[in-house]
């Protein structure tokens, strides 16, 4: 039976993640309400703008239900802004009251926009632990990981910085695999959800 994986659809590149998850064998659905958080086996938090996404999580009363599901062990995958939100600590979190809010699902400290502004966006082939060949990674105003907790596995580096991690059933990348047509990161997440990885 295919896992039912939600994609948080408040802001960001939702459609691309839905397509990548479906190609990887999951039943992929959008999530915008607390009842929809409860109805999925796992969740993808897409790229976008982390302060805006945090504001919308609060506005739509999703923040606490999402934290509760994550604390109960729901698997999650975050790309770019999703990595920022899944972290336990965010550096340069933004303006108080509209700041990026960590969900605490992965024991990492991330720095927002670490690689620079929009004009500093870049693409690079990176070695990704467990995958058979390099991943073509698209970095757009991307974060990087500055601290990794003892139970966090580092999966990839770019420019000497950690850009992909896994802790238990949670996965995060600083880049956007959904933008390349390479479905291996999403397939890895589906395998994690299914208990195969």
Supply the DSSP string of 47-83, one letter for each residue: SS-HHHHHHHHHHTT-HHHHHHHHHTT--EEEETHHH
Is 117 annotated in a binding site? The answer is no
| Residues with active-site annotation | 80, 176, 178
Of residues 96 and 83, the one with the higher pLDDT is 83
What average pLDDT does the segment 19-48 reach? Answer: 96
Is 78 annotated in a binding site? The answer is no
- Pairing mode, strands 27-31 and 4-8: parallel
Give the pLDDT confidence of 123-155 residue by residue, as tens digits.
Answer: 999 999 999 999 999 999 899 999 999 999 999
Is 141 annotated in a binding site? The answer is yes
Q: Whole-angstrom Cα distance, residue 186 to residue 24?
A: 6
Is 49 annotated in a binding site? The answer is yes
What is the per-residue DSSP string for 106-165? EEEEEETTTT-SGGG-EEEEE--TTSSS-EEEEESS--EEEEE-TTPEEEEEETTEEEEE
State if pTM tops 0.85. yes
pLDDT at 116 > cutoff 80: no
């Amino acid at each position: 039976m295919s896992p039912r994986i939600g994609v948080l659809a408040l802001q960001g590149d939702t459609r691309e993640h839905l397509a990548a998850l479906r190609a990887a064998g999951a039943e992929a659905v959008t999530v915008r309400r607390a009842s929809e958080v409860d109805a999925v086996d796992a969740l993808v938090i897409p790229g976008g703008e982390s302060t805006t996404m945090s504001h919308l999580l609060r506005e739509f009363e999703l923040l606490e239900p999402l934290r509760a599901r994550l604390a109960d062990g729901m698997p999650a995958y975050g790309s770019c802004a999703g990595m920022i939100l899944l972290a336990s600590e965010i550096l340069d979190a933004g303006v108080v009251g509209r700041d990026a809010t960590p969900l605490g699902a992965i024991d990492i400290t991330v720095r927002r926009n670490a690689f620079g502004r929009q004009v500093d966006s870049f693409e690079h082939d990176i070695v990704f632990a467990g995958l058979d060949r390099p991943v073509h990674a698209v970095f757009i105003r991307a974060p990087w990981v500055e601290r990794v907790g003892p139970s966090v596995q580092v999966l990839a580096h770019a420019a000497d910085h950690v850009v992909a991690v896994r802790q238990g059933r949670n996965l995060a990348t600083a880049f956007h695999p959904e933008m390349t047509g390479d479905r291996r990161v999403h397939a890895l997440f589906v395998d994690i959800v299914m208990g195969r990885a």
